[in-house]
Amino acid sequence: METDAPSGQGLTGRVALVTGGTSGIGAATAEALLAAGYRVAANYGSNKQAAQAFAARTGIPVFAWNVADLAACEAGVAQVQAALGPVAVLVNNAGITRDAMLHKMTAGQWREVLDVNLGGCFSMCRAVIEGMRERRFGRIINMSSINGLAGQAGQANYAATKAGLIGFTKSLALEGASCNITVNAIAPGYTDTAMVSAVRPEVLENILKSVPMGRLATPAEIARGVLFLAADEAGFITGITLSINGGKYMT
């Protein structure tokens, strides 16, 4: 495990930890939480150069570990708490895709996505939940997806994990309610990130046609949902899935 912790962050607010927090939606979320007065830590998986650049630009300390590994998550959370204090807000944003039609999907592609996207959420929550229960406060926000609600061809593995996060969220919300721990999910629609930008132009054009608002979400718009659910004023909201998708999928 590695850390690169700049000294410029001197806030006195609650500690928020964002997994996959150095790029895309995770980076926008970490920056929004920092601007709102939280003391923020950002986890990343492997791109050290990008993480260090993010840390230098924002002053947010970054910590490297594999969210699919429970022991690594426990050690990572301990390191964050030693540097910043007890984690009060956890944003489970880390996720990967290994897309393939099911008749061509390998067992490795299936298992890798489940281990990171769903197993990572379990491992991170397991690493913080006892402390939150002892302190009788916590905010957990799990990043699901529109494709966990609507499905998507070629993403049986990814959609299964994002749907699974919703059931996990509801169950943990029931467990945490008596300890003033709220657990909610956000299901972003198609968002202007590197993952979406990498799709073929004709595919992106079809995606935009399918969104009533006619555009992609910005990462900052998804981050606004995290800020809302993390706030004290959202203390009576738990077990929900907040869809931010421009009207593409309504439930």
Contact yes or no for 211/191 (Cβ under 8 A) = no
Amino acid at 247: G
238 C-beta neighbours (distance < 10 Å), count: 21
In the DSSP assignment, the letter for residue 186 is E
Tokens of 145: 């997806």
Contact yes or no for 32/223 (Cβ under 8 A) = yes
Please tell me the distance from the alpha carbon of residue 112 to that of residue 116, in angstroms, as a whole number.
6
Q: Give the residue carrying structure tokens 């593995």.
A: 157
Per-residue buried b or exposed e for 84-119, using 16+ beta carbons within 10 Å of the residue's own CB? bebbbbbbbbbbbbbeeeeeebeeebbebbbbbbbb
158 carries an active-site annotation: yes
3-state secondary structure of 55: helix
Amino acid at 60: I
Catalytic: which of 38, 44, 158, 190? Answer: 158
Contact yes or no for 26/101 (Cβ under 8 A) = no
**Catalytic sites, residue numbers:** 158
